[in-house]
Structure 1
Amino acid sequence: MSLISPSRLTIEAAGLSPVSTHKAAHAGICAMCGYPYQAGDPVLAFRPESSFTDYGALRGQGNKAIDGWCAATWTREFTQTHGKAVVSRQGVFKAASNNDIAWWLLNPPEGPWLFVQMDQQVQHLFWRAPVNYSRDVFFIQYGEARLTVRRENLARGADAARRLAIVASEGRKGAALKHPFVRLARELDEPLHGLLRPNLYKIANDRVEVGADIDIVAGLTSGELWGLTAVLYATESAVPERKLPELVA
């Protein structure tokens, strides 16, 4: 299996070119992504501005150059238009709406691919994002956090959550609940995010199937719980729109 850096995968998928000041005189390691570059590859000196605060995330600390692909993903124009995206050999695709996110979580592309979710207005994520080679277990670069998703478990968890929502809605006035949680927060900023409604535990004392569904939900990773914020609200299933290179050229 041939490895590729997240930045190079992204820039090539977007149909863009590396940004550099010169060609490398010899092979080295990119200070940002930590992947090797070869003699003749596009590079530039790594001189971060005073506003740079991501030193702890650097994969090649101590190296004095970054490759041209990392530099190309480091521009404000690129981050503002590609802050929530899925990248694969087929292109760079939108991953912002419930429908888009749900599609990619349940129908990830063949590797290599990556999934990024910016949680600030301007954030540099691509050079630090993990490159996925599996469709069954994969990672999402969510801001500075890294979320893990097991696709089969997410699908099982979504089915269990839907059943629990029906149970939690029994005897309730008004519209049925869309999910069985006290809170379900896309931004992961709610203290009660992912906490099941207390009445479900009481019901589980008399209904074995409810307890079984609670166990399924309790076994979800934080990434899978995050995924429910899209999967449980998605209204259609279609391949998301591709981000065209001219949007950031």
Structure 2
Amino acid sequence: MSSSELVCRSMNIEPNLSETVKAEFDAFCGYCGVELKEGDAVHLLKFKKSFIDQNLCADGSSKYACPHCNEIMNRSKFLLPKLSTGIFTEQGAYPVGKNTNRAYFLKNPPKPPFLFSVNIGQSQHIVWKAPVNLSNEVFFVQLSNHVISINHKKLMGTVKHLHKLRDIHSQALLDDWALNNKKPQQIDRDKLNPFYFLGMKGDVVGTYTLCSWLKDLVESELIEESELAEFKQLNWGEAWLLNAACIENEESNVKPETFTY
């Protein structure tokens, strides 16, 4: 199943076959690379002047586009982050624009096949090039023009480790307030992020700069510096998503409602 077909299925979109022709020979869809047989209903592949992703096409020299890719590419709403940022499954499409929604699916990857795409604010079609995941143990996320791989067991192991460090940090604050006769304050654990990434847009995606509270734990001799090594074993995509995966609030445990075109 191609990515475009899965997206169409998830949103109950029926491709328009009124302008198709019959393939004159066996070929592949120029966009997604799905196999097309002689006699199949296809569209003649015509790139728009604004299209600049020929290098990302499966076969840019192909004469044909499959009906599903043609449908996606001709619907301008798929240029918008709202429709191009989501989890697409055979059971429906789910929003992951909010970090809390993203957290739910990082904790609970859907049953394959599924597609996970995140548009970081640019007006572009990305769902057609997102890999179709056939496993929820190791899967891929289309982050605009980047494809990042996620080892789920490794990511969630790091989340568990981070929660332990949050416990140590929170207890240290409580002990300090008690020692100095200060009124205890509300501790927002979800603000204790591991990395200095810039929100959902992922502007800083190539660094592993740890937040100061983690370094403070080492300097205060509450943990050994070796306990920070676990964060460095993540690839940059896993590190970028860790800030969402480690969210603990109740909303992150609620499966979001599906969305439609």
Bucket of the pairwise TM-score, normalised by the shorter protein: 0.7 to 0.9
Give the Å deviation of 1:149.
0.9
Is the partner of 1:215 in helix, strand or coil?
Answer: helix
The correspondence for 1:15, drawn from 6, 12, 21, is 12
- Which one is further off, 97-106 or 209-218? 209-218
Name the structure 1 match of 2:145.
144
Q: How far is the alpha carbon of 1:210 from its aligned partner?
A: 4.0
How many residue pairs match? The answer is 242
Q: Are the equivalent residues in 1 in contact too, given 2:142–2:148 (CA < 8 A)? A: yes
Distance 2:22 2:15 in 1: 13
Whether contact under 8 Å (1:166, 1:176) holds in the other structure is: no
- Max Rg structure: 2
Identical counterparts, % of pairs: 24
5+ residue gaps in structure 2?
178-184
- 1:45 counterpart = 2:44: yes
Q: Normalization by structure 2: what TM-score?
A: 0.81
Task: Compute the displacement of 1:23 (Å).
Answer: 3.5
1:182–1:195: 8 Å Cα contact kept in structure 2? Answer: yes
Deviates more, 1:135-144 or 1:188-197: 188-197
Deviation at 1:176, TM superposition (A): 5.8
- Cα 1:82–1:40 shift into 2, 3 Å: farther
CA distance in 2 between partners of 1:149 and 1:182 (Å): 17
Q: What does residue 100 of structure 1 align with?
A: 101
Cα deviations across residues 113-162 of structure 1 (Å, max 9, x unaligned)? 11001123422112111110111110000000111111111111122223
Bigger mean CA deviation after superposition, 168-177 or 209-218? 168-177
Structure 1 counterpart of 2:69: 70
Counterpart of 2:234 in structure 1: which amino acid?
A: L
Aligned partner letter, 2:209: L
Corresponding position of 1:215: 229
Partners of 1:218 and 1:101 in 2: CA distance = 22
| Unaligned residue ranges in structure 1 (runs of 5+) | none
Give the helix-richer structure, 1 or 2.
Answer: 2
Whether the 8 Å CA contact 1:179–1:232 is kept in 2: the answer is no
SS of residue in 1 equivalent to 2:241: helix
**Which of structure 1's runs of 4+ aligned residues deviate more than 6 A?**
none
Amino acid at match of 2:121: Q
* 8 Å contact from structure 1 (residues 31, 61) kept in 2: yes
Instruction: Return the TM-score normalized by structure 1.
Output: 0.84
Q: Equivalent residues in 2 for 1:179-194 (5 A)? A: 179-181=192-194, 183-185=196-198, 186-190=200-204, 194=208
